[in-house]
């Protein structure tokens, strides 16, 4: 397997919001990058987005002494032919749509056509790395590397093994992660030895959508405007955006696909509700299509948060995250909760649930018991470690 110092050529598959961001930081780190997508216009748009991103870095004075955008872009190529694009790749980041069959096809094709030492890193939000790698000819070289949006600003990357991944492949992923610059500070490249679909962050962030789905559908039934739901979430206090705006920002389909995946892996309670399903069927995927919960056609929508609906309790979302964090500890995905809180803060800019959870776990367990009784969403039942407060002694 290749030595980290010998990783020079990186291919990024998928020129969407994540792929462009990953390609940008890989270029900033000095690697040669090939950006691949299925159509010429998509990949051209990706290249334009990378240039725009670099321009913003330059304006902030953070491009580095004597380094120009054209200098950086001279190391960037584009392709719509994956098989030939990976011929000399040492490392491949996969950031295609969150569909397992597509990710598997991409993984197989990359592993068939790249040099034997090449490592394949999937940016999947929810799938098992083991499943993505299962039909490939080198599952030992397949890892998960999960970035956050925007990649250049959110400093965390979670690096995880599949069942067949070697320690060496994981080590290289962690090292590459550390080398990718982040404008807010040092990149936190987190090593996760045991497989967890959704890594750490999405394991915490996806279960609250069971609750939000229920709220969205209730709001639809009652004719409550979305901005009142965002106002309930005390947007920009607890979280940078309310749940409707955030879903639009991240892509309604991304949330929808994550729920479909968790529905298969964990529980039918994750099935997308009416509101999300309708938005996806109508092609209203949020910011990227110009319409979702809100109208983004004229740029960022103006959202008035002065009137609350009074149906969403943000504390319940924190309680759900604490419960899921405790499940990660019970499953021994991580040995202490500090790393969970660190991932949440550096990946999402939201504090993790354990700080307030230490004071509130009894109240929050009761809240979850009550919500389960009301909604029958049994997946949200508080686990033993949460109810007992036993997690408090597991900081490290």
Single out the catalytic residue among 89, 189, 202, 257. Answer: 202
Q: Is 18 in the site for ligand NAD (CB under 6 A)?
A: yes
In the structure encoding, which two tokens stand for residue 114, read together?
């790249």
343 in contact with ligand NAD (CB under 6 A): no
Q: CB of 136 within 8 A of CB of 216?
A: no
- Based on the shown chain and the rule CB under 6 A, indicate whether residue 243 belongs to the binding site for ligand NAD: no
CB of 378 to ligand NAD, least distance (A): 26
Residue 125 touching ligand NAD (CB under 6 A): yes
Q: Report if residue 42 touches ligand NAD, rule: CB under 6 A.
A: yes
CA distance readout (Å), 276 to 111, 159, 169, 285? 35, 29, 37, 9
How far apart CA 49 and CA 165 sit, in angstroms, is 33
Element (H, E) at 9: strand 9-13
Which position among 28, 96, 176, 318 is part of the footprint of ligand NAD (CB under 6 A)?
Answer: 96
181 versus 197: smaller Cβ distance to ligand NAD: 197
Q: How far apart are CA 10 and CA 76, in angstroms?
A: 10
When asked if residue 15 is in the footprint of ligand NAD (CB under 6 A), the reply is yes
Instruction: Decide if residue 340 touches ligand NAD (CB under 6 A).
Output: no
Contact region for ligand NAD (CB under 6 A) — 16-24, 25-33, 301-309, 330-338? Answer: 16-24
Residue with tokens 């915490």: 204
- 106 binds ligand NAD per the rule CB under 6 A: yes
Select 7 or 15, whichever has its Cβ closest to ligand NAD.
15
Q: Please report whether residue 189 would count as binding ligand NAD according to CB under 6 A.
A: no
Q: Does 245 bind ligand NAD (CB under 6 A)?
A: no
Nearer to ligand NAD, 122 or 165 (CB): 122
- Whether residue 14 has a cis bond before it, omega within 30° of 0: no
Structure tokens at 234: 């005390």
Cα 213 to chain centroid distance, Å, stands at 19
Which three-class secondary structure state does DSSP give residue 135?
coil
- Helix ranges, 225-273 (H): 226-232, 243-250, 252-265
Sequence-separated (6 or more) residues with CB below 8 Å from residue 368: 316, 319, 320, 323, 380, 381, 382
Which listed residue (89, 136, 141, 158) is catalytic? 158
Q: How many residues bind ligand NAD (CB under 6 A)?
A: 28
Residue 202 appears among annotated catalytic residues: yes
Is position 117 annotated as part of the catalytic site?
no
The answer to whether 136 contacts ligand NAD (rule: CB under 6 A) is no
What's CA 330's distance to the chain center, in Å? 22
Single out the residue of 9, 10, 19, 339 in contact with ligand NAD (rule: CB under 6 A).
19
8-state DSSP, 94: E
Question: What are the catalytic residues?
Answer: 125, 146, 158, 202
**Chain residues that interact with ligand NAD, rule: CB under 6 A:** 13-19, 36-38, 42, 82, 95-98, 102, 106, 123-125, 146-149, 250-251, 254
């Amino acid at each position: 397997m290749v030595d980290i110092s010998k990783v020079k050529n990186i291919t990024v598959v998928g020129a969407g919001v994540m792929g462009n961001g990953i390609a940008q930081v890989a270029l900033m780190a000095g690697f040669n990058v090939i950006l691949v997508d299925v159509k010429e216009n998509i990949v051209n748009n990706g290249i334009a987005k990378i240039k725009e991103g670099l321009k913003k870095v330059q304006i902030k004075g953070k491009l580095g002494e004597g380094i120009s955008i054209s200098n950086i872009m001279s190391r960037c190529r584009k392709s719509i032919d994956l098989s030939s694009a990976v011929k000399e790749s040492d490392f491949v980041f996969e950031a295609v749509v969150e569909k397992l069959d597509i990710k598997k096809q991409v993984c197989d094709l990359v592993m068939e056509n790249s040099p034997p030492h090449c490592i394949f890193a999937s940016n999947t939000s929810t799938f098992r790395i083991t499943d993505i790698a299962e039909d490939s000819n080198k599952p030992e070289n397949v890892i998960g590397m999960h970035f956050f949006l925007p990649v250049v600003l959110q400093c965390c990357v979670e690096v995880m093994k599949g069942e067949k991944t070697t320690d060496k492949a994981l080590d290289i992923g962690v090292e590459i992660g550390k080398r990718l610059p982040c404008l807010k500070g040092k990149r936190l490249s987190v090593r996760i030895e045991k497989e967890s679909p959704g890594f750490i962050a999405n394991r915490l962030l996806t279960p609250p959508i069971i609750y939000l789905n229920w709220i969205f559908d209730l709001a639809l039934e009652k004719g409550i405007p979305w901005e009142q739901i965002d106002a309930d979430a005390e947007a920009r206090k607890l979280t940078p955006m309310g749940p409707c705006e955030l879903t639009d920002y991240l892509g309604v389909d991304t949330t929808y696909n994550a729920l479909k995946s968790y529905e298969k892996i964990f529980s039918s309670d994750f099935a997308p509700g009416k509101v999300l399903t309708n938005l996806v069927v109508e092609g209203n995927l949020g910011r990227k299509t110009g319409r979702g919960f809100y109208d983004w056609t004229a740029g960022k929508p103006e959202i008035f948060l002065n009137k609350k609906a009074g149906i969403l309790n943000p504390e319940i979302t924190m309680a759900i995250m604490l419960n899921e964090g405790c499940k990660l500890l019970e499953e021994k995905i991580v040995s202490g909760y500090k790393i969970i809180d660190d991932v949440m803060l550096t990946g999402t800019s939201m504090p993790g649930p354990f700080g307030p959870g230490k004071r509130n776990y009894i109240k929050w367990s009761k809240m979850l018991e009550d919500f389960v009784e009301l909604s029958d969403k049994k997946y949200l039942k508080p686990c033993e470690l949460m109810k007992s407060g036993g997690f408090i002694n597991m900081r490290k």
